[in-house]
Amino acid sequence: MEFNLADLFESVADAVPEREALVCGDRRLTYSELDERANRLAHYLASQGIGKGDHIGLYLHNCTEYIEASLAAYKVRAVPVNINFRYVEAELAYLFDNADLVALVHHREFAPRIAAVASKTPKVRTLVAVEDGNGAVCSSPEYEAALAASSSARSFPDRSADDLYILYTGGTTGMPKGVMWRQEDIFFAAMMGGNPYGPPPERPEDVADSAKARGIVTMLPAAPLIHGAAQWAAFINLYGGGKVVIAPGKRFDPNLIWQLAEKERVNTIAIVGDAMARPLAEVLEGASFDLSSLRVVGSGGATFSEPVREQLRAKLPNAMLMDSFGASEGGYQGAHVGRGAGGTAPRFRADATTAVFDEHLRRLEPGSGQVGTLARTGRIPIGYYKDPEKTARTFVEIDGARWALPGDMAMVETDGTITLLGRGSACINSGGEKIYPEEVEAAVRSHPSVFDAVVVGVPDEKWGERVTAVVQPRGGHTLTLESLAEHCRTAVAGYKIPRGLRLVDELVRQPSGKPDYRWAKSVAMENGRE
């Protein structure tokens, strides 16, 4: 056996067959049942001519079928590809073509969109529809018929640690790109070897042994499974022999998250920053849940702001609130240890595989005060699917080692910790000064009248770009640019303070919870306003 995602899951299923693996709505699956359903779907896909290296699109809301289809693809050495369910037809046509999809497992509601792009995506030849549902067992007769007619046996070709895992990432600009990983590398770099609380396994056999010996941890990934952080959180727990609770439905529902946490005795909840943390905190202000089982609320992909962290801490005194940093191109890279200069930018502790380089690819020394690009070496992706130019720009050789530099800007503090400033592609250039939106957003969100905010740059004749805050105010509160600027002046330098303010009824974010900077910029520039 190798460190292959299908092999490893099968070994865990054999070690703890009767443990519950997945809970979603009315469906509860043990490891044995989940493995059998994945086997059946894998055999159905194989009967359609799908095998090693073929790409299967997962066009689904959160449901057990998302995990089943991922495992089924791995079993036949195919590659599951995440599809953002908010995409419109043009974006879907691009993704289906760019990813070379030959099959789709999709919720039935998406059939009209699939049909609309069919003429542009002739490689897609196999469709398996899952019935739409919200909280109920949501399989369709088509999906279940495919499983019922297929073998439950594990009669599959030998697999390899080199089999691919691909994650399509939307990024802050441009069309999404597929990040290609070896399965062994993603298992250690992002899924933490299935053992986030201890040493990584030395042998593949250690994974099942550890899962059997470990107590059951119940994990609830609150973000959509199309997002890398949610996928990784779910599979970390599955490889650890734990239970994964999936919140069904199309939208993030903070009340449902707490209901599930209480009902299923959840130990760990994985979220994406304030976009999820703040609504969760607001619900706790006006409701009572038994959350005595909860030990960790972890945020990946975006950080907690300090006001929201304090609001949650007051209601969850026995739970650890953890920020972790990672990227589609780097996996898990570090844990939050505080705030950097000015108290707004998050500061992380990272290991020796992480460094910060200047524009000439020279390593920045601790305490230099310089801003550079965050990088990771060791277990990193192969590159971007069908994009050798971007691969060459992002994955570079420095002093004989291969490094990934996806574009996050950072500083190295005197103690060696790293202050993360944000993605360079979203950087605002105002009067020659570089301003990173995430730092300013943290300051804006700490205003008592702000519920949520995104910061963008809009064209300015004098300064090149003007810092503008797009804000969703708290209900019943009023907010002016003057009061916001005065508040932010205590947290960030004067040149970073918002010079423009746009108020919206609801902030639009990506399904993952990350800011939608393109939407925010269009709002900030609406009708030519600045």
Tell me which of 360, 391, 422 is where a domain ends. Answer: 422
H helix count then E strand count, the chain: 16, 27
202 shares a domain with 108: yes
Give 70-84 as a DSSP string: HHHHHHTT-EEEE--
135 contacts 248 by C-beta, under 8 angstroms: yes
Element of type H or E holding 212: helix 204-213
Higher local confidence (pLDDT), 204 or 490: 204
Q: Answer yes or no: do 403 and 453 share one domain.
A: no
- Together in a domain, 373 and 504: no
Structural domain count, the chain: 3
Q: C-alpha distances in angstroms, 151 versus 12, 43, 56, 156? A: 20, 6, 20, 11
Residue 141 domain boundaries: 5-251
Judge if 373 and 470 occupy the same domain: no
Q: Which of 185, 216, 251 is the last residue of a domain?
A: 251
One domain for residues 397 and 515: no
**Judgement on whether residues 497 and 484 belong to the same structural domain of the protein:** yes
Please give the C-alpha separations between residue 322 and each of 229, 336, 338, in angstroms, as whole numbers.
14, 7, 11
Question: Quick one: pLDDT band at residue 218, thresholds 50, 70, 90?
Answer: very high
Q: What is the CATH number of the domain that holds 391?
A: 2.30.38.10
Pairing relationship of beta strands 101-107 and 55-59 according to DSSP bridges:
parallel
Q: Are 70 and 44 in contact (CB under 8 A)?
A: no
Whole-number Å distance between alpha carbons of 454 and 503: 11
Percentage of the chain modeled with pLDDT above 70 = 95
Determine, yes or no, domain membership for 288: no
User: What pLDDT is attached to residue 340?
Assistant: 56
Residue 6, judged by CB atoms within 10 A of its CB (0-12, 13-18, 19+), counts as: buried
CATH of the domain at 481: 3.30.300.30
> What's residue 185's pLDDT?
98
- Which pLDDT score, from 0 to 100, does residue 138 have? 44
Both 399 and 470 in one domain: the answer is no
182 with 240, same domain: the answer is: yes
> Using CA atoms, how far apart are residues 394 and 360, in angstroms rounded to an integer?
14
Question: At which of 422, 449, 464 does a domain end?
Answer: 422
Q: How many CA atoms lie within 13 A of 40 on its CB side?
A: 15
Phi-psi region of 528 (alpha: psi -120 to 50; beta: other; left: phi over 0): left
State pLDDT tens for residues 357-371: 999 999 999 999 999
Is it the case that residue 338 has pLDDT exceeding 70?
A: no
pLDDT of residue 22: 98
Residue-wise pLDDT for 80-108, tens only, equals: 999 999 888 988 999 999 999 999 999 99
Q: What is the pLDDT of residues 267-286, one digit of tens each?
A: 999 998 888 898 999 999 98
Residue 328 lies in a domain: no
